[in-house]
Amino acid sequence: MEIDQPAITDTGDFVINMGPQHPSTHGVLHLKVTLNGETIKNIEPHLGYIHRSIEKMSEAASYRNFIYLTSRMDYLSAHMNNQACAMAVEKGLQLEIPPRAKVIRMLMSELTRLASHQLWWAALGLDLGAITPYFLGFRDREEILDIFEETCGARLTMNFNVPGGLMYDIHPNFAGRVKTFLKNFRDHLPEYHQLLTGNIIFEERTKGVGILTPEDAVSFGCTGAVARASGISCDVRKWYPYDGYETVQFEEPIETGCDCYSRYSVRIKEMEQSVKIIEQLIDNIPEGEFQAKTKVVLKVPKGEYYVRVETARGELGVYLVSDGSSNPYRIKYRSPGFSNLSALNTMAKGNKIGDLVAIMATLDLVIPDIDR
Amino acid sequence: MTTEELKQFISLQVPETVFEEAQFLNAIVDGSKAHAVLKTLREHPETDFDYLFCESGVDWKEFFYVVYHMVSRRHKHTLVLKAKISDRVNPQIESAAYIWKTAEMHELEIFDLFGIKFINHPHLRRLFLDDTWGFPLRKDYVDETNIVSL
């Protein structure tokens, strides 16, 4: 193992480590930053501090079991990770899920997206030096997590999806509590704008920082809010609709600023669109079965299947290779954070360390999603 | 382009391509010819595959596949290209990092977990594991201390 000496080279550059233990890297991300003074010349990410070989473990688990490993990949959108895996198995078995299961899956996805964006907003404020957003974001998030706990039994890693639909039916209090939450959240949303959006210090720190051109965004494979802030339309719910998203009305917020402030605006607007989707669905949950009939031991026919969902970070793809046995042969998770991280070097070159913190905060990375 | 036109376009580049009809059109070429085909698919205005959304490796015991999933945002067609690498002792293939920038990090991951070397990669290094580790995602990987067989 080579040891890097922090020497000053002839050009005056030196290499420092940011992370893996650092409050602003949102997980265990180790960045080797080459600096000249305070200006960044190069960033090299070193990963693997939370690599748990989920892909290898999935090869040893059965088709019913591997779904539960994936809640821990991007733990802030755990429901959507499980939905992607369940959809991959359903595609292989050519299974149709009942309408009640589709609507409840959509409701849970949008609530998870809201919870993830609230945590993102809270951590963004904290990284840039504002303490109050952290408390406000978590206060609103607690209501959603309490709703999850009543229905699914867990606050973060819900494990509510199975191939064929849902594991159990929703609690009778579900619809009432969601409506109360929506009313409270609509009242609190102006506070979010009051604290950060119009704040002159916030605007100076984020406008014009971390430019990512549209050609680079496509070449780096960026998805989610990172690509939408550069003018690229890429919402999986619009381009490749799944599980009933073609029946709801919502817009895809697109900005053309390409900087940190645009990424911030896109996510705030995504929160408002999620509220709109939940309002359309919460009074019209169809009656009926919540799970399609399936065998106890599932065997997906030989072949390859690719499904994609829109998580809070971008497009999550599950590439399932099956050889006809009762365990998957190979599963590859195309994680959104992996591709978004590869654009970090381009975005941060020429900026200062303080700008790097702002860029990382608006990229919204979750490191277990990258390391798997 | 329709599926038939894509098949003809790729057969012009590499006549020995094997096609499969699956969820998307699958084209299997030999590893040595893959780089040229990928470059043409990216740059030709009729195909214009500008978005590589997934690059992965699959170990089929006698050979490896490096699987490229790509889509064109303008023409809205999707293609899966599989590059077959038959050499298990010293597998290598030319890197696609200068065609799509996202391939740089994906290929680091494939090198780390499978051991497939990418020629002309900007900076090939192990990403998750350290230099003394084997290649875990291979089907013949054995680790007595860490893997428990039930």
Burial status of residue A334 (CB atoms within 10 A of its CB: 0-12, 13-18, 19 or more)? buried
Give the nearest chain B residue to A91 (CA atoms).
B23
Size of interface A-B (CB pairs under 8 A): 76
Mean pLDDT of A343-364: 89
The ranges of chain B with pLDDT < 50 are none
The answer to whether B74 faces chain A, any CB pair under 8 Å, is: no
pLDDT of residue A135: 92
pLDDT tens-digit readout, A211-262? 889 988 888 989 889 999 998 888 889 888 988 888 898 988 998 888 899 9
Cβ within 8 Å of residue A195, ≥6 positions away: A125, A130, A132, A133, A136
Residue range A51-371 in CATH 1.10.645.10: yes
pLDDT tens-digit readout, A94-130? 888 899 999 999 999 999 999 999 999 999 988 888 8
Which CATH class name applies to B3-119?
Answer: alpha beta
ipTM field: 0.90
CB distance B50–A219 less than 8 Å? yes
Going from N- to C-terminal start, the domains of chain A cover 51-371
CB distance A342–B131 less than 8 Å? no
**Look-up of token digits 């359309």:** A280
> Is the pLDDT score of A149 beyond 80?
yes
CB distance A221–B52 less than 8 Å? yes
pTM of the model: 0.90
What value, to the nearest 5°, has the Cα angle with vertex A45 and ends A43 and A51?
175
Percent of chain A's residues with pLDDT above 90: 24
pLDDT of residue A156: 87
Please state the length of chain B: 150
pLDDT of residue A268: 92
- Token pair listed for A226: 């990172």
Crossing angle, helix A132-152 and helix A174-192, to 10 degrees? 170
Reported confidence tier of residue A318, pLDDT bands at 50, 70, 90? very high
Q: Which of A93, A318, A322, A339 best tests the B interface by mutation, with the highest count of B CBs <10 A?
A: A339
Reported confidence tier of residue A2, pLDDT bands at 50, 70, 90? low
Going from N- to C-terminal start, the domains of chain B cover 3-119
Percent of chain B's residues with pLDDT above 90: 2
Could you tell me which residues are beta bridge partners of residue B67? B56, B82
CB distance B105–A216 less than 8 Å? no
CB B17 within 8 A of CB B71: no
Percent of chain A's residues with pLDDT above 70: 97
Reported confidence tier of residue A3, pLDDT bands at 50, 70, 90? low
Burial status of residue A310 (CB atoms within 10 A of its CB: 0-12, 13-18, 19 or more)? buried
Cβ within 8 Å of residue B30, ≥6 positions away: B14, B16, B83, B84
Q: Which of B53, B59, B79, B149 best tests the A interface by mutation, with the highest count of A CBs <10 A?
A: B53
Q: Collapse the DSSP code of A24 into the 3-class scheme (helix H, G, I; strand E, B; otherwise coil) and give the result.
A: coil
Q: Which of A219, A319, A334, A349 best tests the B interface by mutation, with the highest count of B CBs <10 A?
A: A219
Q: Which amino acid is at A317?
A: G
Distance from the Cα of A58 to chain B's closest Cα (Å) equals 11
